[in-house]
């Protein structure tokens, strides 16, 4: 079950990262009166998705050896 949760987590992050080039032509876009999504926002979203993907990969190996409930991370 741990592998399925980890795979779903990684797949979601990968889909989010891959979707960034498809939404880039729609920027800049005002989401609310205080939030504007532009090229910088997409760049930092990509960094966060990539870093989260790497952390999830590293955490998977660590949680394989852990005796607790590994699904709490995902």
The answer to whether the beta carbons of residues 71 and 5 sit under 8 Å apart is yes
pLDDT band at 40 (very low <50, low <70, confident <90, very high): very high
Q: What percent of the chain has pLDDT over 90?
A: 65
pLDDT band at 1 (very low <50, low <70, confident <90, very high): low
The answer to whether the beta carbons of residues 70 and 8 sit under 8 Å apart is no
| Alpha-carbon gap, residue 44 to 36, rounded angstroms | 13
| Alpha-carbon gap, residue 41 to 47, rounded angstroms | 10
Q: Where are the domains of the chain?
A: 2-72
Q: Helix, strand or coil for residue 29?
A: strand
Rg (CA), the chain: 16
pLDDT for the residue 11: 97
């Amino acid at each position: 079950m741990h592998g399925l949760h980890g795979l779903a987590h990684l797949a979601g992050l990968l889909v989010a990262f891959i979707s960034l080039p498809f939404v880039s032509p729609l920027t800049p876009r005002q989401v609310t009166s205080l939030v504007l999504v532009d090229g910088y926002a997409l760049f930092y979203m990509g960094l966060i998705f990539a870093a989260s993907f790497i952390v999830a990969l590293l955490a998977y190996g660590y949680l394989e050896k852990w005796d607790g409930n590994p699904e709490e991370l995902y």
